[in-house]
Amino acid sequence: MSDAAPSTVRSLRDETVAVLAQAGVPDPEVDADLLVGFVLGVGRGRVQALVVMDAAIDAEDAGRVRGLAARRATREPLQHITGTAPFRSLELAVGPGVFVPRPETEQVVQFAIDALRAVPSAEPVGVDLGTGSGAIALAMATEVPHARVYAVEKSPEAFAWTRRNVESVGAANLRAVLGDLADALPELDGAVDVVISNPPYVPDDAIPRDPEVRLFDPAVALYGGADGLDVVRVISGVARRLLRPGGTLVLEHGELQGAQIRELLTADGWRATATHPDLTTRDRATTALK
């Protein structure tokens, strides 16, 4: 970017858009707004208002935006730069070592929230296997406050973010557990109402195209074996152990994996398997009943 400090938010934003677009960043206009807003401490709408107003910006703030834009141009995730990722009503802390929650998962967790709300119990129990940042578990705990929620994560690096977010949100009804999901929570066997997971489901040889994913998301959160379903197979067994009869399983997965997952779950004894599209009409989640 130019060394000369732009005198207005408009010129700084235009400059930032150009740098990000040249680097191949998807939606450079959105990221430019968010970077400027991050430095100024305002939301995207306010940034756009400042552009229309042709508002001035001081050299120090402009320099900070340039520095952050240079990082984004290397395809470092925007969420790592700002240190936060929005998820439903939450603002979560994220960074190196943890999977950045995606917008499509906001729709997947709705299945678990709806299932928890439908349980005729004063304290329904939900479990998030492989919680990462804690996004799914925290959404369940905050949106179904009478539920008891458990969040399991085996990566110490990711679990540090889990704990940070649980403490920040202040969800007293959520318990974070460091451990392998394969043998998690034996004390809850047969007592859980909903199990949900966004497991690693990328086949080992299907390297993601986006540098933000390929270079920055932890491999343990991405790759699921030759067909991408190794962890799903484990979760099928664990969820059958944990859930009460009639309990609900919710799995996020890739758009081409629905049929194979339904077949896998049916073979394991699950009932009413169904695959659901996301807002882009791509298959994104499969649910089943024990």
Supply 205's token pair: 């040889």
Q: Is 133 annotated as a binding residue?
A: yes
Dist. CA 78–CA 154, nearest whole Å: 25
* Residue 81 CB neighbour total at 10 angstroms: 18
- Mean pLDDT confidence for 5-30: 91
E-strand ranges in the chain read 84-87, 90-93, 125-129, 148-153, 174-178, 192-197, 243-252, 271-277, 283-289
Does the annotation place 228 within a ligand binding site? no
Instruction: Name the 3-class secondary structure at 15.
Output: helix
Fold held by 84-289: Rossmann fold (3.40.50)
pTM of the model: 0.89
**DSSP-derived pairing of the beta strands 125-129 and 148-153:** parallel
CB within 8 Å of 243: residues ≥ 6 apart: 190, 192, 193, 194, 195, 249, 290
Q: What is the pLDDT of residue 207?
A: 83
74 is in an annotated binding site: no
Q: How far apart are CA 134 and CA 149, in angstroms?
A: 11
Per-residue model confidence as pLDDT tens digits over 130-143: 999 999 999 999 99
Where do we find the tokens 């997965």? 253
132 is in an annotated binding site: yes
Flag whether pLDDT at 1 surpasses 50: no
Residue 75 tokens, joined: 């395809």
Question: Dihedrals φ, ψ of 160, to 5°?
Answer: -60, -40
Q: Which residue has the tokens 């920040």?
A: 168
- Find out whether 198 is annotated in a ligand binding site: yes
199 is in an annotated binding site: yes
Q: What is the pLDDT of residue 6?
A: 54
Q: Is 200 annotated as a binding residue?
A: yes
- For residue range 115-166, what is the model confidence (pLDDT) as tens digits? 999 999 999 999 999 999 999 999 999 999 999 999 999 999 999 999 999 9
Q: How many whole angstroms separate alpha carbon 275 and alpha carbon 287?
A: 6
Alpha-carbon span 143 to 129, nearest angstrom: 18
- The chain-wide mean pLDDT, for the chain, equals 94
At 2, the pLDDT band (50, 70, 90 cuts) reads: very low
Segment among 52-56, 76-80, 185-189, 202-206 with least mean pLDDT: 202-206
Helix, strand, coil % in the chain, rounded to nearest 5: 45, 20, 35
The 3-state DSSP class for residue 209 equals coil
Q: Report whether 134 belongs to an annotated binding site.
A: yes
Domains of the chain, residue spans: 9-74, 84-289
Tens digit of each residue's pLDDT (9 = 90 or more) over 30-56: 999 999 999 999 999 999 999 999 999
